Amino acid sequence: MKKIYMIGIGLIGGSFAIDIKKHFPEVVIYGIDTNENHLNNAKELGVIDEKATLADLENADLVIVSIPVDVTVTLLPIILDKISENSLVIDAGSTKEAICKAVEHHPKRRNFLACHPIAGTEKSGPTAAISGLYVGKTNIICEVEKTTFKLQEKALNLFSTIGMRIRYMDPVSHDKHIAYVSHLSHISAFMLGKTVINKAKNERDIFDMAGSGFESTVRLAKSSPAMWTPIFKQNKENVIETLDAYINNLKRFKELMERDNFSEIFNEMENTNYIKQILNGIK
């Protein structure tokens, strides 16, 4: 792959570009973004080599799409229309069912690989792009059987080279599970931040009294609403299901507090400590 086109030059796309260039220095990275400042910054930082437009996609060996999921649903069929018969298109969206449905009958469906790299930070834009973001991270691939085997191999080689682990999942299962382990975390962070801001009117009090626990818990509240609102919209049913479960657990905790049942609160927290073993096993 000699010519790679990045559609969306933010944290995800930019970090891909940096590591691809690191391992494949002969590759030319082209950037496509509706934000001209992002393109200029990305070129100045060396994240991309050249600016491009959708009309140039006929020259692409690989296209990586890392834009809000609602835009991906609309733009992905157009991208597939423009590429050559031998090109590969990869997306990095946090939802998969709607994106896969958008191209399920497209004549070049075999040129598309639906992916979700489980990596990122709360920062956004090309200045947030970093080297090594994907090392040791899981990349979930959906409907792999619908992608031409030769193109699958190219993608898997790329992912392996930049240090990613691969897991396969169907789009429906992906969206259901990711609602619990990712989408709910972001909602919790946003609402925790809102609760504190509404209660502690003095910003200096928040700054002085917030410890590392609060900072790490609310970190995700700094994430881009422009990216996350479409994710919640596309995965609405699963997100509501996770919120129901979460709210029920919060209500139970509150009821135990009201009844002074701190022994049961201890048991609940001790049982939940098991999650440490699960997470340690992943790392």
Tell me the pLDDT tens digit for each residue of 41-73: 999 999 999 999 999 999 999 999 999 999 999
242 in Cβ contact with 183 (< 8 Å): yes
Query: b/e map of 187-211 (b: 16 or more CB within 10 Å)?
Result: bbbbeebeebeeeeeeeeebeeeee
> Which amino acid makes up residue 46?
G
CA-to-CA distance for 222 and 194, rounded, in angstroms? Answer: 12
Segments in the chain below pLDDT 70: 200-214, 276-283
Output the pLDDT for position 102: 97
Q: Count of residues for the chain? A: 283
What pLDDT was estimated at residue 222? 83
**129 three-state secondary structure:** coil
Q: What is the pLDDT of residue 213?
A: 67
Q: What is the pLDDT of residue 103?
A: 98
- Which residues, in sequence order, are CB contacts of 252 under 8 Å at separation 6+? 268
Is-above-0.75 flag for pTM?
A: yes
Confidence (pLDDT) at 57:
97
pLDDT of residue 232: 95
For 254, other C-beta atoms within 10 Å of its C-beta total 10
Helix (H) or strand (E) holding 17: helix 11-23
**Which fold does the domain 173-282 belong to in CATH?**
6-phosphogluconate dehydrogenase C-terminal fold (1.10.3660)
By the 8 A CB rule, do 67 and 99 touch?
no
User: Domains of the chain: which residue ranges?
Assistant: 3-169, 173-282
Which CATH number is 3-169 given? 3.40.50.720
170 close to 114: Cβ distance less than 8 angstroms: no
Say what the pLDDT of residue 219 is.
Answer: 78
Residue pLDDT, tens place only, 158-203: 999 999 999 999 999 999 999 998 999 999 989 988 887 777 666 6
